[in-house]
Amino acid sequence: MKYYSTKGTVEPVNFQEAIFRGLPADNGLFMPEKIPVLPSSFFDELSKMSLPEIGFEVLRHFVDSEIPDETLKELVADTLSFDIPLTRINDSVYALELFHGPTMAFKDVGARFLARCLSYFTQKKSNQLTVLVATSGDTGSAVANGFFNVDGIEVVILYPSGKVSGFQEQQMTTLGGNITALEVDGTFDDCQALVKQAFLDDELREAKQLTSANSINIARLLPQSIYYFYAWAQLPDEAKNEAIFSVPSGNYGNLSAGLIAQKMGLPIKHFLACSNTNDTVPLYLWNGNFEPKPSVSTISNAMDVGNPSNFFRMLDLFDGSYQQMIKHISGYAYTDDSTRDAIQKTYALYGYILDPHGAVGYLGLMDYFRSEQGTGILLETAHPVKFKQTVEDQILRDVPVPAHVEKTSLEKKSIPFNANFTDFRSFLIDKQ
Ligand SMILES: *Cc1c(COP(=O)(O)O)cnc(C)c1O
């Protein structure tokens, strides 16, 4: 399979090159040249298949012969080593719980798959790869966990000191092994500037094989299609032709992955693009104008994105047609007050605890169902305990930390660092 740039000014590349580069040189986004339509026999068997089995069938077309089938099977099984259950909230709404992985957010799926693919190709070349990540919190923890103990890969995470949550810091700094956390005396922008400068430094790139684990890497996006199939398979038969997926969105990777699943033949009736007050995409869906703007802070902070990069993947999937896009996707945007209210009401009415992101998806379904029918599936993108205080203030009870992520005994290991490129450069050169 070849991957082209959405800007179309560079030659298409194979899967391996697309994932090592992350971004094409023309600053577009990589997209697969062909989206395969899966045979009806696959859909007939779907409800009998395990999550890794579905994952393999979905991904093998995109990876092609670049990773042998048997290896890809193992790699997918290792990526999806946790369940993604569909939980009924009420007669017409289900939550697809994407938070049962190590960092309790859906980004685990993409980060784990990317890590395993990079490791496979790196081992074939028998040299070490260094992954650099600048993070404001969530990406760092998903990448740290996704790459932990993966052979042939060193990860260096840069995060702004004092500006990430205690939970996120714990997840980035307690693993050790191949994960190094630099606690930068500065802002997220300072961290990002250091990483960008490192990639522009030819001598450094030569000395160290550097790559990024950027969220727009195609190997993070494609595996996210898998759970749309898995969710659909778990629906009662009578609901299978009326599935409405509500996707709480920031950079629109999750939604793009759902559109890919639909193109592969999954009979999804409609998508809801739900945002907080960072409503660039809902506004586009309402009026046809795409106008990026600076992001504003909200309680669903993983969706605080004013200029969502995957919008251009969405547009590409509809051949640039606004008219086609609005046939398949409706936009909704909500304030923090409505979001809090949804957390409170959903708990009071159904005993289900939503996190602030899932709550935004829930609100979208409620509005959609005012005029349309269907069975709603909201993507519950994070565990409510990640937003403990916000959630507990609404439901007035404790949200316990799930046993599999409780790591209170582990010690924080970070290296305090000044936001200075010369120091960063020497640090990377001297590392091992
Ligand atoms: C990243 C994230 C989102 C936004 O997902 P996109 O694919 O960027 O739209 C939503 N919820 C949570 C919890 C996230 O971490």
Q: How confident is the model at residue 411 (pLDDT cuts 50, 70, 90)?
A: confident
* Residue tagged 């599999």 (tokens): 404
Question: Is 303 touching ligand 1 by the criterion CB < 6 Å?
Answer: yes
The letter for the amino acid at 136 is S
Higher pLDDT, 408 or 432: 432
* Radius of gyration in angstroms for the set of CA atoms belonging to the chain, rounded to a whole number: 21
52 lines ligand 1 (CB under 6 A): no
- Find the mean pLDDT for residues 176-183: 94
Distances (CA, A) of 195 to 131, 138, 333, 425, 432: 10, 17, 33, 10, 19
Q: How confident is the model at residue 258 (pLDDT cuts 50, 70, 90)?
A: very high
Q: Which residue type sits at 69?
A: D
Residue 105 near ligand 1, beta carbon < 6 Å: yes
- Which of 154, 148, 63 has the alpha carbon at shortest distance from 112? 148
Q: Which of 221, 381, 385 to mutate to test the pocket of ligand 1 (most atoms within 8 A of CB)?
A: 381
- Write out the two tokens for 355: 């996190």
Mean pLDDT of the chain: 93
Which residues sit opposite 415 in a β-bridge?
182
pLDDT at 252 over 60: yes
- Read off the DSSP letter of residue 79: H
- For the segment 240-259, the average pLDDT, to the nearest whole number, is 97
Map residue 295 onto helix, strand or coil.
coil
DSSP string, 158-210: EEETT-S-HHHHHHHHS--TTEEEEEEES-HHHHHHHHHHHHH-HHHHHHSEE
CA of 148 to the centre of ligand 1 (A): 21
The encoded tokens of residue 137 equal: 């919190």
Look at the block and give the residue holding tokens 């992001």: 295
Q: Provide the residue type at 152 as one letter.
A: G
Burial grade of 338 (CB within 10 A; 0-12, 13-18, 19 or more): middle
Query: What tokens does 89 get?
Result: 């909230």
Banded pLDDT at 409 (limits 50, 70, 90): low
- Sketch the domain layout of the chain as residue ranges: 85-104+221-401
- Does domain 85-104+221-401 fall into CATH 3.40.50.1100? yes
Tell me, using a 6 A CB cutoff, whether residue 253 lines ligand 1.
yes
Q: What is the DSSP string of 301-362?
A: GGG--SS-TTHHHHHHHTTT-HHHHHHHEEEEE--HHHHHHHHHHHHHHH-----HHHHHHH
Which residue is closest in CA terms to ligand 1's atom 15? 302
Quote the CA–CA distance of 191 and 181 in Å, as a whole number.
12
pLDDT of residue 407: 59
Tell me which of 140-144, 280-284, 379-383 is least confident: 140-144
Instruction: Bin 236: left if φ > 0, else alpha if -120 < ψ < 50, else beta.
Output: beta
Residue with the larger pLDDT of the pair 26 and 51: 51
pLDDT over 70 (residue 406): no
pLDDT at 261: 98
CA distances from 291 to 79, 280, 311 (A): 36, 6, 11
Asked whether residue 260 carries a pLDDT value surpassing 90, the answer given is: yes
The confidence score (pLDDT) of residue 182 equals 96
Closest CA to 262 of 244, 274, 249: 244
CB contact at 8 A, 253 and 221: yes
Q: Using 50, 70 and 90 to split pLDDT, how confident is the model at 208?
A: confident
Closest atom of ligand 1 relative to the 250 alpha carbon = 9
Mutate to test the pocket of ligand 1, among 106, 138, 272, 299 (most ligand atoms within 8 A of CB): 106
d(Cα 84, Cα 227) in Å, to the nearest integer?
A: 7
Residue 408 has pLDDT above 60, yes or no: no
Separation between Cα atoms, residue 135 and residue 129, nearest integer Å: 19
